[in-house]
Structure 1
Amino acid sequence: MSVQDNGSTAVADDATSSGVTKRLLIDGELVTTERTFASYNPATGDVVGHAPDAGVEEAEAAIKAARRAFDTTTWSTDAEFRATCLDQLYQALRDNAEELRELTIAEVGAPRILTHGNQLDAPIEIVKYYAELLRKTSFTEELGEVEFRGQPHRRWVEKEAAGVVAAIVAYNYPTQLAMAKLPAALAAGCTVVLKGAPDTPLVTQALAEIIANHTDIPAGVVNILSSSQIAPGELMTTHPDVDVVTFTGSTPVGKKIMAAAADSLKRVFLELGGKSALIVLDDADVATAAQFAAFSICSHAGQGCALTTRLLVPRAKHDEIVAHVAGVMQHVPFGDPSDPKIYMGPVISEKQREKIDAMVKRAVDEGATLVTGGEKVDPGWFYKPTLLANVDPDSEIAQEEVFGPVLAVIPFDDDDHAVEIANNSKYGLSGGVLSADDERGIAIGRRIRTGTFSVNGGNYFSPDVPFGGYKQSGIGREMGAAGLAEFQQLKAFSVVVK
């Protein structure tokens, strides 16, 4: 068993045909490897299938193909063709959505209900968004004329593709994370090497077959790898032929990638961890706040970097709100993710479940009150929705990302104190506020140092909204026009007007 570059684990084995099998996409060809590794259903622990275990040789070939496609074809300059290919990809994803849905439920452990949202259906729409944005984007900006040494000079700026992109995604929302990177990079004119997470390789590799069989995207423009090894990911982040690295995963790994990329001064986009706070102001409806907080932390078993994992409540209402939240959490339906009535599925692995359980136990040892949950449920890798009250804002459970269905309740004295606690974090990804007064909530939001913020349940997640964080939650933005800009370089021109 080997530790992966995104903090997960996988076991390599000999090639096998049992279960679902997928292939790598390298230079336009779907290829296999001598070795594969198993992917497991987190709801049962059973093997879903096997993925190709790419090594350094395959990663090198993928990067070489992407470099050739960028340097020797018209992909980077033919915007209309790129838009057509994105149209094809969008339609192909829609045509294959049901197969992807069942695979996502089985491999990711995502409840069926979530696949109709951010796990699958919503990310597919990102492709359509970038196809449309590409058609209405101007890649030239005129700056006008200036006089220099007695002659007029025309100046303008052109937006060019940044080059070869190495894209590495995490396990929690594999399709969404891939779609937040791939369509924008393609729209910009880049070529891409995409690597899926070792815990969910099959969902990402399914994209390889869709692209190869249902689009006119040229050979080498998109290459897709799966691997249980560290070396391919390391090569992708250090290779001299890679111009941009985009990574979604843990902050510690993001720091290593940033350090590795510094040697060649690659452009780096990092979407990392979060410890977002939901602030319940003293005028908020308690029952509504309890529903919102409980269902947020239980979404995909808490495996979301932008989920609000800290619940900040007025000290005078602490016990009342805790009681309401506990009541809701105890009735959140969890279990078999294929059941359409289930809201919460399992966590991704036994290793992750052990980490969650250990953090909960340490929190109790440090003085937090375990109100409900804190239990493993078998078979599979389920962990009961867990509520911790009277949490010290400086404690581990309030500062470190759990990535499980664990909510930490922290009391505050007034609005200023709530803002202080919310900003008392190395992370700055997201957050929210609940109040009877929208303007009061918006004013609070403007004081919180995060990249996204929800006021009274407002949904910021959409293809046209930039997503990313402050501080150690990352660098850059994906989605929206800002996401396109991450994969572009600016070139300034000037010519003497004759």
Structure 2
Amino acid sequence: MTSLPDAKLFIDGELRGAEGGKTFDVIGPWTGETVGRAADASAADVEAAIVAARRAFDQTDWSTNIEKRVALVKKLRALFEANKDRLSDLARIEAGAAWGAVGRAHVDMALEGWDDYLAVFPQVRWEKDHGSRIGYGFETVRKAVYEPIGVVAAITPWNVPLYVNVGKVVAALLAGCTLILKPAPDTPGMGAIFGELALEAGFPPGVINVVFGADPALAGEMLVKDPRVDLISFTGSTGVGKRIMEQGAATLKRVFLELGGKSAKIVLDDAPNFAMDVATAMLVFHAGQGCAVHSRLLVPRSRYEEAKAILKHSYASFGENWGVFDDPKHIMGPVISKRQMERVLSYIALGQQEGATLIAGGHARPDKGGGFFIEPTCFADVTNDMRIAQEEIFGPVLVVIPFEDDEDAIRIANESAYGLSGGVCSADLDRALRVAKRIRSGSISVNGGMCIAGDVPFGGYKASGIGREWGLEGIEEFLETKLIAWRAA
């Protein structure tokens, strides 16, 4: 397997190593072996990034020169297009993406989302007329102006790193913010490339900074606590999101949080493609490592045995069509790390202890290689109060739950701490829409409709987060509202 180039920090317009030359090994999910090295940022390195971003926002025209920043964002987009082969290597070698997943969420969907941001950007309102009002014996004219919030810290995960990095970095830049990108230590290269290509594009020093380290918390906690950072945009676990809110409270920092999910796909009894709707619920894409995946499948009790038979056949048919690095048809590879593999396996053991029935998978697969392979897994005889039905596993584990009627399906879907995504399938569109509108979730797919794309907002209810990413709303997350009023002549 190809080794990756060293991942360097990008601070104040300079690509460089960490203080003292410290590095850490990047472990490849396919092999379990070192595939590259990355600079191991110190507190001093993070401090330098904060200083640079603050100065670039406060002392340059970046926040006000819309034409300049749009031109540079477009130039950077062209450079990413020219480096698609390298992006594919990073997605596969660092994040463990299978070849068939690269052309979807990992690279192509990320770059399409970049284009979507550029397409919706002209819709951003920079001013709004609030008219005039008579009071205290005179007339006042009011106008709202929308301004970039300032310095943004973007803290991103390892599962689809380019997609999430683009979602935060491009929106913040277009809004006029300066930023510090802090990628996960598992995938530093997909963050480092932003610094490399920003330097090539000619971004002003300090507008984009990239820091990472072996300690997943050091840089993030510094950024969250520092009063010079105005906004934290975080994608990751709900537990870490809560900690960010707690630590950011001291500086009343604005936070955008895109957190976990335990989304339900509801297949109603009249679904015209019942077998296909059930079969396609198999949780195999990128080994189930997605916050918005449908990890609970809800089917009518009247067709429960039929659904289980369909799933048994589907998983058996899927067979060994996964876990080969060079197979372009494969959409599933390993999970990201040994730690994640152990976590997923512990949930599989827990599901059996809780009384659920394995109808497919359930084992690690060391025969696939030295990496972190878990076979596609499906549990039946699951009740919604089981931990495997309530907690985010973040692996290739689907649970199947029966429901009595539409009301029961809605109840089960909503009996969750999370509310990120979901799906409804029915021959009756009005019926499906009635169900979808009652599910407490940020996005819902009806009859396979694509509810996640770069030109529409994405985010969650409840423990799945705060705010929205992507689309016009994703750019507006990085703006402040200022109301200006003046006495009419």
TM norm structure 2: 0.96
1:364 equivalent in alignment to 2:363: no
Deviations 1:366-394 (A, max 9, x none): 11001110011122211111010010110
- 2:14 alignment partner, one of 25, 29, 54: 29
1:100 equivalent in alignment to 2:102: no
Question: CA separation in 2, counterparts of 1:48 and 1:84?
Answer: 35
Partner of 1:154: 141
Opposite residue 383 of structure 2, the aligned amino acid is: D
Do the aligned residues in 2 keep the contact of 1:304 with 1:403 (CA within 8 Å)? yes
* 1:19, distance to aligned residue in structure 2 (A): 4.6
Partner of 1:462: 453
Opposite residue 451 of structure 2, the aligned amino acid is: Y
Question: CA separation in 2, counterparts of 1:335 and 1:75?
Answer: 45
Partner of 2:296: 310
Question: CA separation in 2, counterparts of 1:125 and 1:300?
Answer: 19
Question: CA separation in 2, counterparts of 1:286 and 1:325?
Answer: 12
Do the aligned residues in 2 keep the contact of 1:43 with 1:337 (CA within 8 Å)? yes
- 1:331 alignment partner, one of 317, 321, 338: 317
* 1:125, distance to aligned residue in structure 2 (A): 2.4
* 1:136, distance to aligned residue in structure 2 (A): 4.3
Partner of 2:418: 427
Change (3 A) 1:414 1:115: same
* 1:329, distance to aligned residue in structure 2 (A): 2.0
* 1:331, distance to aligned residue in structure 2 (A): 2.9
Partner of 2:124: 137
Which residues of 2 match residues 215-364 of structure 1 at below 5 A? 215-229=201-215, 230-284=217-271, 285-294=273-282, 297-332=283-318, 333-364=321-352
Do the aligned residues in 2 keep the contact of 1:126 with 1:183 (CA within 8 Å)? no
Partner of 2:198: 211
Do the aligned residues in 1 keep the contact of 2:156 with 2:236 (CA within 8 Å)? yes
Do the aligned residues in 2 keep the contact of 1:348 with 1:381 (CA within 8 Å)? yes
Partner of 1:12: none
Opposite residue 313 of structure 2, the aligned amino acid is: G
Opposite residue 417 of structure 2, the aligned amino acid is: K
* 1:198, distance to aligned residue in structure 2 (A): 0.9
- 2:395 alignment partner, one of 404, 407, 430: 404
* 1:45, distance to aligned residue in structure 2 (A): 1.4
Question: CA separation in 2, counterparts of 1:329 and 1:219?
Answer: 52
144-153 vs 174-183, which moves further: 144-153
- State percent identity of aligned pairs: 45
Which residues of 2 match residues 179-198 of structure 1 at below 5 A? 179-198=166-185
Partner of 2:431: 440
* 1:305, distance to aligned residue in structure 2 (A): 0.5
Do the aligned residues in 1 keep the contact of 2:113 with 2:454 (CA within 8 Å)? yes
Question: CA separation in 2, counterparts of 1:206 and 1:323?
Answer: 46
Partner of 1:14: none
Deviations 1:419-456 (A, max 9, x none): 00000000000100111122211111001000000001
Q: Secondary structure at the match of 2:104?
A: coil
Question: CA separation in 1, counterparts of 2:24 and 2:316?
Answer: 37
Do the aligned residues in 1 keep the contact of 2:29 with 2:337 (CA within 8 Å)? yes
Opposite residue 140 of structure 1, the aligned amino acid is: E
* 1:108, distance to aligned residue in structure 2 (A): 0.8
Q: Secondary structure at the match of 1:376?
A: coil
Opposite residue 301 of structure 2, the aligned amino acid is: R
311-320 vs 282-291, which moves further: 282-291
Do the aligned residues in 1 keep the contact of 2:56 with 2:62 (CA within 8 Å)? yes
* 1:107, distance to aligned residue in structure 2 (A): 1.1
Question: CA separation in 1, counterparts of 2:464 and 2:213?
Answer: 25
* 1:193, distance to aligned residue in structure 2 (A): 0.4
Do the aligned residues in 2 keep the contact of 1:83 with 1:135 (CA within 8 Å)? no
Q: Secondary structure at the match of 2:94?
A: helix
* 1:127, distance to aligned residue in structure 2 (A): 2.4
19-28 vs 382-391, which moves further: 19-28
- 2:374 alignment partner, one of 366, 383, 392: 383
469-478 vs 225-234, which moves further: 225-234
Question: CA separation in 1, counterparts of 2:210 and 2:436?
Answer: 39
Opposite residue 102 of structure 1, the aligned amino acid is: D
Do the aligned residues in 2 keep the contact of 1:39 with 1:202 (CA within 8 Å)? no
Deviations 1:448-490 (A, max 9, x none): 0000000011111211110000000000000111111110000
Do the aligned residues in 2 keep the contact of 1:120 with 1:175 (CA within 8 Å)? yes
1:170 equivalent in alignment to 2:157: yes
Do the aligned residues in 2 keep the contact of 1:83 with 1:132 (CA within 8 Å)? no
Opposite residue 370 of structure 1, the aligned amino acid is: L
Question: CA separation in 2, counterparts of 1:80 and 1:442?
Answer: 42
Deviations 1:298-342 (A, max 9, x none): 111000000000011111211210111122123332112332021
Q: Secondary structure at the match of 2:190?
A: helix
Question: CA separation in 1, counterparts of 2:59 and 2:218?
Answer: 28
Question: CA separation in 2, counterparts of 1:274 and 1:234?
Answer: 24
Change (3 A) 1:43 1:331: farther
* 1:133, distance to aligned residue in structure 2 (A): 3.1
TM norm structure 1: 0.94
Partner of 1:113: 100
